[in-house]
Amino acid sequence: MFFKRAKQDKKKTSESPPEPPPAEEANGSAENVETIAPPELSPAAVDPESLGFTTTADLEPGTGPVGQDRALEALAFGAGIKGPGYNILVAGRAGTGSEAAARAKLKEVAAAKKRPADWVYLSYFDDDGGFRALELPPGSAKKIAEAMAQAIDRLADALPVAFAADDYELKRRAIEEEFRFSREDALEALRREAEAQNIALLRTPAGIAVAPILEGKVVKSDVFNSVPESLRREVQTKISALEAEIEQILAERPSAEKARRERLLALNEQIAGRQVRAALDEIKTKFADVPGMERYLKAAGRDLVRNAGLFLTLSGHDSVKVPVGTIGDARFARYRVHVLATTEADTGAPVVEEANPTYANLFGRIEFGPAGEERSAQVVRIKPGALHRANGGFLIIDARGLLAAPAVIDALARALQAQEIRFDPPTDPVGAHSGGIPDLEPIALHVKLVVLADSDAHRELAKSYPHFMRHFKAEAVFDTAVDRSSEIIAAYARRIAGIVAENDLKPVDAKGVALLIDEAGRKGGGNGRLSTEIGHIADLCREADHWAKSAGRTTTSAADVERALEERKGRAGAHGDRQ
């Protein structure tokens, strides 16, 4: 019936039960035994002689709940089966070991499962500010995020140096001079042509003007009006022709200015592109086999070249100063790789427990940086929720926390139905301007949801949220009491031995174990059933151990268990019933 520990130098006897230990062994040395007689022992429903051991040190320690085979089978079924809808509801009163059993089974199953994929969010690099979800090989997300951050750091150093180099400055000045001389050459040719006709080209604040020349001097209008009319007409004709040529030269100025800007932009992109390619090529080589990375790096490279000015602070016309920041700056947050899900090596699938199931804690949150003079608030960080961290494994949630947030239950039901994690918060995140929540591409959801509930929470979920509960095809219901049998009594004794081992307590003798099982019978209603509230028995074991230590005993006796029961009854006070 019991699994006993193997002992050396001790012969097994099946003819008779083992003799009780000497008083000195059970109660410590003679000089340490209390002279006051222990309280009178209440009759135990379990015969200590029938247990077949002297103390719990003789037994193989048991773990887990007692007599919950059906619940454990249902738990194993739900944890192991594949397919949508087989989420698990674990129903059991506190103290029955249902929650501990669920955690243990989930960790066991998760350890044997394949390590799930990593997930990240990457910028689309468009005006809408959306983000693309990218599935990555297990363990690669953090490496890619770190590599991208290092690339931005390198550009923050390299770009200012490149734009301050003599080579860049010479090329820029050559373009500027080319367009300036082209315009000036045309005006100089027109000036010489005009002088040959005794007409002067004058630069004024309002632009270029023309005036007649008489006897080598520019004359004013009142003097010019005194000359013969025939001469005036001849000069006026020449002036009109020259003004038409001036207008044509000036009319070409906008197109020339556009060409100048285009040439300078091409030069800037050439200089920036060389540095950007050098910074990103290492990432491209290192993660060449990762699907989607080449596409992302091309888009990021184009955007970095277009926005190279973010890395510079221009002062005056010629100087280029030091970098203004790195990826930690909100101006560079668009290049951040946001890690949503990742796992460590050799860990199998994740088992995540969320004690406070708010929307943000389950579905994640977006953090915004301050808006600048020329830009709106930027997304600086996308934080994962428990659904992201548990993706590919198990997520444990307490039913009471869910019942306190009906909107979260509805959001979870939609996620389980669609099998995707979609960011659609009930309120705008802090820092987001009106309608400014960026579009986050949904992430495929492959999680097994495990809800821990007592009987009241179980009924409330079934009654008020049937659309949610239909996704829970596996229910592990832990009984509060089990029918008494020799097998159950043996399991209870081993479980008490397990409690002793887990808490580093003194061994409990057979009479003490019998009293503890008798207490389980009282908690079970006294109708031939034993309570499965192992937590209550564990508390009694710890308290009895305390009284045994106070009495100087090396073994916890029935007297110590009885003392623990009486003390607990006394603490209950006016309530009058041991709990």
Q: What percent of the chain is modeled with pLDDT above 70? A: 79
Binned at pLDDT 50, 70 and 90, residue 317 comes out as very low
Residue 335: name the closest of 506, 560, 122, 73 by CA: 122
Q: According to the model, what pLDDT value does residue 476 have?
A: 95
Q: Say if residue 405's pLDDT is above 60.
A: yes
User: Which domains does the chain carry?
Assistant: 38-65+484-575 (1.10.8.60), 68-116+343-478 (3.40.50.300), 144-331 (no CATH)
Q: According to the model, what pLDDT value does residue 537 have?
A: 95
Q: Say if residue 27's pLDDT is above 50.
A: no
Q: What is the mean pLDDT of residues 497-501?
A: 96
Residue 95: name the closest of 578, 523, 457, 563 by CA: 523
Token match 């009163």: residue? 93
Q: According to the model, what pLDDT value does residue 463 have?
A: 96
Alpha carbon of 468 to those of 363, 385, 416, 420: distances in Å?
17, 20, 9, 15
Q: Say if residue 411's pLDDT is above 70.
A: yes
Q: Say if residue 418's pLDDT is above 70.
A: yes
Q: According to the model, what pLDDT value does residue 37 have?
A: 44
Binned at pLDDT 50, 70 and 90, residue 29 comes out as very low
Cα 507 from chain centroid (whole Å): 45
Q: What is the mean pLDDT of residues 116-120?
A: 96
Alpha carbon of 100 to those of 59, 280, 335, 482, 503: distances in Å?
22, 48, 43, 18, 15
- pLDDT tens digits for 224-282? 777 777 777 777 787 778 777 767 766 655 666 677 778 888 888 999 999 999 999 99
Q: What is the mean pLDDT of residues 527-533?
A: 90
Among 64-78, 129-143, 175-189, 349-363, which stretch is predicted with the lowest mean pLDDT?
A: 175-189
Q: According to the model, what pLDDT value does residue 302 have?
A: 93
Q: According to the model, what pLDDT value does residue 193 have?
A: 75
pTM of the predicted model as reported, rounded to 2 decimal places: 0.74
Residue 199: name the closest of 184, 209, 186, 187 by CA: 209
Query: What is the 3-state composition of the chain as percent helix, strand, coil, each rounded to the nearest 5?
Result: 50, 15, 35
Q: According to the model, what pLDDT value does residue 431 have?
A: 52
Binned at pLDDT 50, 70 and 90, residue 171 comes out as confident
Binned at pLDDT 50, 70 and 90, residue 375 comes out as low
Residue 347: name the closest of 120, 142, 114 by CA: 114
Q: According to the model, what pLDDT value does residue 75 have?
A: 94
Q: Say if residue 30's pLDDT is above 70.
A: no
Binned at pLDDT 50, 70 and 90, residue 557 comes out as very high
Q: What percent of the chain is modeled with pLDDT above 90? A: 54
Q: According to the model, what pLDDT value does residue 241 have?
A: 80
Question: Mean pLDDT in the chain?
Answer: 82
| pLDDT, greater one: 316 or 395 | 395
Among 264-268, 347-351, 468-472, 569-573, which stretch is predicted with the lowest mean pLDDT?
A: 569-573
